[in-house]
Amino acid sequence: MSVFYSNTKDALENRRNFLQELGIDYRDLVCAQQVHGSQARYIQETDKGKGALSYDTAIPDTDALITHERNLPLAVFTADCLSVFIYDHRTPGIGLVHAGWRSTRDHIVGKTVKLMQEKFNTEVKDLSVSFGPAIGSCCYTVREDFTDFFPGDLIKRNNHYYLDLVRINKRQLLDLGVKDKNIFDSQICTSCRNEEFFSYRKEGTGCGRMMSIIMLA
């Protein structure tokens, strides 16, 4: 589920109001100091509230969080990057990934699933995965040399090159053995629908962020 921030000043209040409706205390959120890397971290009860009220206390150097604790809400923040929600219904366990192009290049979804396998014996056949709103291949122009990172994956139209983050992350999940029927895409392009969603590419550095959260109830 995603919520929208208009500016930093309002962010905490938006967070509190939105999460209150879901019965979640905003002070319990676990957030990451996202770095466009590929590090996933195992989150436990002792991490509850890290990053909820200030960036300084967030989990450092991390772009994916997993847990199998109940009532421990995990959050990532995006504006064009892809959020990936992972649910293992059997364990049960959850994961939440912030996947921009660098993290996608470095196979962050695979590393996250691997950590879930290590920490709570997740089996890929039990996984359901959802993609949040992200910039689509309709709008995501990249340099031609991105083909070094994503060989065979760039889409060429009218002498421009485009990247499809969803397609590449989906393929990485399928390669791991996640079932096609268990992968869901919001099919929302943040740039095409910038009136409703923040788009860093469209708005620039002052752009707000969308929060994606996942929690085992």
Give the helix/strand (H/E) hosting 184.
strand 183-185
Shortest separation between residue 192's beta carbon and Zn ion, angstroms? 3
Q: Is the CB of 37 or the CB of 133 nearer to Zn ion?
A: 133
Shortest separation between residue 139's beta carbon and Zn ion, angstroms? 3
> Could you say which residues in the range 171-190 bind Zn ion, by CB under 5 A?
189
Q: Is the CB of 132 or the CB of 136 nearer to Zn ion?
A: 136
Q: Is the CB of 63 or the CB of 164 nearer to Zn ion?
A: 164
Contact indicator for 57, 112 with CB cutoff of 8 Å:
no
In Å, how far are 22, 92, 204 from 70, measured between CA atoms?
14, 9, 37
Q: How many helices (H) and strands (E) does the chain have?
A: 5, 12
- Of the candidates 62, 191, 199, 212, which one interacts with Zn ion according to CB under 5 A? 191
Binding letters toward Zn ion, positions 113-152, x by CB under 5 A: -----------------------x-xx-------------
In Å, how far are 103, 109, 154, 186 from 165, measured between CA atoms?
10, 12, 10, 13
40-42/82-88 β-pairing: unpaired
Q: Is the CB of 5 or the CB of 162 nearer to Zn ion?
A: 162
Please name every residue paired with 84 in a beta bridge, in sequence order, or none if there are none: 97, 131
Q: Is the CB of 51 or the CB of 133 nearer to Zn ion?
A: 133
Tell me which residues touch Zn ion (CB under 5 A): 136, 138-139, 189, 191-192
